[in-house]
Amino acid sequence: MLNGRIMGLDVGDATIGVAVSDIMGLTAQGITTVHRVGKKKDVEELKKIIAEKNVNKIVSGMPKNMSGDIGPQGEKVIKFCEYLKAETGIDIEFWDERLSTVSATRSLIEADVSRKKRKKVVDMLAAVIILQGYLDFKRI
């Protein structure tokens, strides 16, 4: 994994949280939150980050129901990721993201981050949690 980085995504209806691994694939860093305006433009934003950060793999959070089933939100994420893969040629793996946003919000509350600031960074932090979970699992 020394020839590129892994990008982590938290794909939502309004925003996409973006994180990228270090070159060794050990740690995840938050990069940005993309405010969604349309599939084509959203993918163009991600392509810029992919090129800039030398990304060769993508991990997207997969929102599942607590029962483990993939619901309507999961279907939207799959469709978006299929389009992203078609546009970039980069393989995309899915990672169970149940509670990642809850965990991100809790971390921000514990750090005493104001509600207004939390809203701006919670999706990016959720992407970090998704990617870090994936990186830790792959290291075991």
Q: Residue 86: give its domain's CATH number.
A: 3.30.420.140
Q: What does the alpha-carbon distance between residue 50 and residue 45 come to, in Å, rounded to a whole number?
A: 9
- Could you list the residue range(s) of the whole structural domain that residue 15 is in? 5-139
Rounded Cα gap, residues 88 and 86, in angstroms:
6
Q: pLDDT tens digit string along 77-133?
A: 999 999 999 999 999 999 987 666 677 778 778 878 787 776 777 888 889 989 999
Predicted confidence at residue 140, as pLDDT, reads 67
DSSP for 83-140 reads HHHHHH---EEEEE-TTHHHHHHHHHHHTT--HHHHHHHHHHHHHHHHHHHHHHHHH-
Q: What is the pLDDT of residues 32-80, one digit of tens each?
A: 999 999 999 999 999 999 999 999 999 999 988 778 788 898 999 999 9
State the pLDDT at residue 135: 94
Residues 6+ apart with CB under 8 A from 126: 10, 17, 61, 97, 100, 101, 103, 104
How many domains does the chain fold into?
Answer: 1
Q: What is the predicted pLDDT for the residue at 123?
A: 85
Would you say 33 and 15 are in contact if contact means Cβ atoms under 8 Å apart? yes
Instruction: Identify the helix (H) or strand (E) that includes residue 39.
Output: helix 39-53
**Looking at the predicted structure, is the pLDDT value of residue 1 above 80?**
no
Give 3's DSSP letter.
Answer: T
Q: What is the model's pTM?
A: 0.87
